[in-house]
Structure 1
C-alpha cells in the first residue's frame, strides 16, 4: 500500500522527514511509515518535532544502554545553560508528581528508588499472582460470555491490569475506575499535539492523584500491610527512607505504567491475532506457544513507541553531532520492525526465532513491570480465546489518537 506524499516526505540526502503525527493515516497504522523509513532513512530529523529520531534496532538498543545519554539533564545542567523554557505554571502539580519518577531519574537517585521497588516485580514474586490473574479473567468473561458480543477494552482489557497493579501496591480495587480516569488524563501530557486543555486536565488529575496517594501513605504508615506501598514506606536503603514526594511519584508512575500500556497491548494482541490466518487454539496450545505468540504480538504492535534521551555530553552517533542537552528520540516500535533483524517484519509470525523485541526498553530503564505485563498477557489471552471459540472482529477497530502510545479506542467482538 503506497503512502501519500502529503503524509510522509523523505529527503534521504539530508535525512529530513516531514510527517504529520496527528494524521489518522499515520497513527492508525504506523508500521507502514516505519517500513518506509527503514528503507530510505532509518535515522532522520523529524521536521515537525524538531528532533533526531532513530529506528534502527542496533542504534535503538545501543542508545537505551548508552550512559552518554540519559532520561534527564537538569541534574547536571541548568535550564539557563541549555536555553530551556521555564516550567509552565499551570502544570505545577503534574511536574511535582513527575519530579521523582523512575522513568525520568538518573543514578544515583534512580538506583536508590529502583532498588526499593524492584523486589516486588522480580519474576518469582510476580509468578505468585498467576491464580489471581486467571480467576479475574474467568470472572470477567463470565459476565459477558452469554451475550455473544462484547466491547473488549472496557469489559476485560481495562480491568485486569489496573486491578492487579492496585492489589500489588495496596490500593483498594474499587478505586479502579477512578485510577483509569486519572491515568488517561495524566498520560495526555506525553502525546503529540497535546493542547492547553490537555495540560490543565493532566494537572488537575495529578493533583487529585497525588492527594489520594498521600492519604494512602498516611494510612500505611499508621497500619502497614503486606503490600508494595507499605514496603516502600518502611524499607530503608543505605540508611535512607523514601520521602513522601518520592513515594507519591513512584506510586503514580507504577499505577500508570502498570496498566496503561498493558491495556493497549491486550487489545492490540487480540486484533493482530484475529487479523492473522493463525488458529488461536494452536497459538495457545501450550506455554511455549503462548509465550512465542505474546512476544511476537509485542514486537509487531508495541503499545509504547517512543522514548527520549538527553545527550549528557557532546557525542556523535550515526554521523549526527549531539551537544550536551540535545535530545535523541528512539522509536522502539520501529526498531522491532528493522528488516536487518527480522525477516518479513510487517508480518505476524509467532514461530520467529530472531532478535528479542525492544518493547520494554533496555538498560537501567528497562520496564520494571515487564514480568507482570508478560504474565498478564500469557494468562489472560489464552483464557479469552479458549473460553470464546469462534471469536471474531465485529466491525473495524478504532485506534486511539494517542501517538506515541498505540492502542485501540474500542474493540468490538462477537462469537
Structure 2
C-alpha cells in the first residue's frame, strides 16, 4: 500500500484501488494535491468510496467524454430512483436532456440550442454589465461583503430567469429548489436529503406548470414561450419534457456559474497585484476566464454508463450498465497535458480544459457562462481595484460540485 498523510488516502498500486473519503476536510479544501498523486501513480483507479472506476488523466477523460459507447442515460433494466419517496424527482430526471441520449437528446437539444449560441448570447452583454454595476452599487459603500450571496449568486440566477421569462423576484425559491435537487448528486446522501429533493422537484414542477398556464395567454420573446410553443405543437415536446427542460435550464443556468465566479475571484486575488491587469483587453479577459475554468473548475466529476463492453484505460474494462467517474477537475491539472498545471497562466498555449465537458453533452450554456464570467469579473475588479480577501476562502463539502461556501472580501 502506498499512503500519503495529507489528505489521508490509501492507494493500492497493484490493484489500482483508492480509499479516500470525499468529505475529508483536507480534500474538500484542496483536491489538487490528491490529483497530482493520482496522475503520478494511478491515472485510472477504482474509488472504493464511490464503488466505481474513475479516470483522472486528461487524455483518458477527454476520450471517455467523446466515446459513444458511454452515455448519460440509465441503461434499460437499471432502476436508479425506484423508491416511492423519489417518484417526483425520478420523473424529472427521466425526461431531462442531460440524462438522455440520441435521438431524444438530439431533438431536445436542437430545440433550445438556438437561444444559447454565441451570437444570441452576445446580445445579453449590456444587460449583464448593467446588472453587475447595480449589484456592486448595493454593497460598495459597506467596504466588505460575502461575494457569494452578494454577487456570484444573483448574476447568473437573474440572467437565466430573465432569459426564460420566469419572475426574477422568485430567485430565492428557485435557488432553494435547485440546491435541494442537486444535493441528490452528492456522495453519501441520506433519505432526508432524498425526500427533500423529491419535494423540491414536485414543487418546482407544479410551479412550472402553473406559470406556463398563465404565460400561454401572454407569450413573449423568451425561452419559456419557445418551450410552450414546442409543447403545444404536439410531437416536439411532451408535458414531462417541457417541465424537465425548464427545470434543467434554470438549475444548470446558474449552479455551476455561481461556483465558478466565486472560485475565479478567489483565484485572481491569490495572484496578488492589481487584478485589473488581467482584464486590460477583450483578449486578455477571455484568456483569463479560460484559465479560471481550467485552474479551479466548478464541477469535478461527471459520470457515464457503459452501454456495451468497453475498455476505458489500459487493462480496465467496463461491462454494460457499469458506471465510470470522469474527474474533470483532475483532468484540467494533469501535468501530462498542461505545462506547470498548478500555475495560473492566462493565455497559455496548451489551454484545452474540459470544464464544459466534450462530445454530444458539451455544455449547451457554455457561451452564456463565459460571457457572464467575463463581464462579472471585469466589472468587479474595475469597480473595486483595491479588493482583497478578508479571510481564507472556504470550499463547501459538496464534492463533486466544487465551490466556496463563503468569500468575504474588503476594499
Q: TM-score range by the shorter chain?
A: over 0.9
Partner of 2:39: 38
Aligned runs of 1:376-415 on 2, under 5 Å? 376-415=372-411
**How many pairs were matched up?**
408
Partner of 2:23: 22
Q: Residue deviations 1:126-178, cap 9 Å, x none?
A: 00000100000000000111111111011111101000000001101101111
1:323 aligns with 2:329: no
1:161 aligns with 2:156: yes
User: Runs of 5+ in structure 1 lacking a partner?
Assistant: none
1:119 aligns with 2:114: yes
Kept after mapping to 2: 8 A contact 1:341/1:355: no
Q: Which runs of 4+ in 1 moved over 3 A?
A: 235-239
Kept after mapping to 2: 8 A contact 1:182/1:205: yes
Partner of 1:223: 218
Q: Residue deviations 1:189-216, cap 9 Å, x none?
A: 0111211111111111111101001112
Q: Residue deviations 1:369-392, cap 9 Å, x none?
A: 110000000001010001001110
SS of the residue corresponding to residue 317 of structure 1 reads strand
1:261 aligns with 2:260: no
Following the alignment from structure 1 to structure 2, what is the Cα–Cα distance between the partners of residues 282 and 43?
A: 39
Partner of 2:70: 69
Following the alignment from structure 2 to structure 1, what is the Cα–Cα distance between the partners of residues 191 and 231?
A: 40
Following the alignment from structure 1 to structure 2, what is the Cα–Cα distance between the partners of residues 129 and 261?
A: 19
Sort the Cα spacing of 1:3 and 1:352 in 2 relative to 1 into closer, same or farther, 3 A.
farther
Sort the Cα spacing of 1:89 and 1:239 in 2 relative to 1 into closer, same or farther, 3 A.
closer
Following the alignment from structure 2 to structure 1, what is the Cα–Cα distance between the partners of residues 215 and 238?
A: 14
Deviates more, 1:215-224 or 1:248-257: 215-224
SS of the residue corresponding to residue 11 of structure 2 reads strand
1:336 aligns with 2:336: no
Partner of 1:353: 349
Displacement of 1:4 after TM fit? 1.2
Displacement of 1:238 after TM fit? 10
Following the alignment from structure 1 to structure 2, what is the Cα–Cα distance between the partners of residues 372 and 230?
A: 19
Displacement of 1:183 after TM fit? 0.8
Following the alignment from structure 1 to structure 2, what is the Cα–Cα distance between the partners of residues 86 and 127?
A: 39
SS of the residue corresponding to residue 409 of structure 2 reads strand
Q: Residue deviations 1:221-279, cap 9 Å, x none?
A: 23211100111221489972211110110010111110010000110000011111353
SS of the residue corresponding to residue 115 of structure 2 reads helix
Following the alignment from structure 2 to structure 1, what is the Cα–Cα distance between the partners of residues 44 and 11?
A: 11
After TM superposition, the score normalised by the length of structure 1 is 0.95
Kept after mapping to 2: 8 A contact 1:360/1:366: yes
1:50 aligns with 2:51: yes
Partner of 2:242: 247
Following the alignment from structure 1 to structure 2, what is the Cα–Cα distance between the partners of residues 85 and 380?
A: 38
Kept after mapping to 1: 8 A contact 2:309/2:319: yes
Following the alignment from structure 2 to structure 1, what is the Cα–Cα distance between the partners of residues 386 and 328?
A: 33
User: Runs of 5+ in structure 2 lacking a partner?
Assistant: none
Kept after mapping to 2: 8 A contact 1:54/1:331: yes
1:78 aligns with 2:74: no
Following the alignment from structure 1 to structure 2, what is the Cα–Cα distance between the partners of residues 238 and 118?
A: 18
Partner of 2:135: 140
After TM superposition, the score normalised by the length of structure 2 is 0.96
Following the alignment from structure 1 to structure 2, what is the Cα–Cα distance between the partners of residues 18 and 104?
A: 28
Following the alignment from structure 2 to structure 1, what is the Cα–Cα distance between the partners of residues 205 and 212?
A: 10
Sort the Cα spacing of 1:310 and 1:149 in 2 relative to 1 into closer, same or farther, 3 A.
same
Sort the Cα spacing of 1:347 and 1:3 in 2 relative to 1 into closer, same or farther, 3 A.
farther
Displacement of 1:331 after TM fit? 0.4
Following the alignment from structure 1 to structure 2, what is the Cα–Cα distance between the partners of residues 151 and 60?
A: 34
Displacement of 1:350 after TM fit? 1.4
Aligned runs of 1:296-307 on 2, under 5 Å? 296-307=291-302
Sort the Cα spacing of 1:392 and 1:207 in 2 relative to 1 into closer, same or farther, 3 A.
same
Following the alignment from structure 1 to structure 2, what is the Cα–Cα distance between the partners of residues 158 and 355?
A: 27
Following the alignment from structure 2 to structure 1, what is the Cα–Cα distance between the partners of residues 359 and 130?
A: 34
Q: CA RMSD in A?
A: 1.6
Kept after mapping to 2: 8 A contact 1:73/1:312: no
Displacement of 1:39 after TM fit? 1.0
Following the alignment from structure 2 to structure 1, what is the Cα–Cα distance between the partners of residues 132 and 48?
A: 44
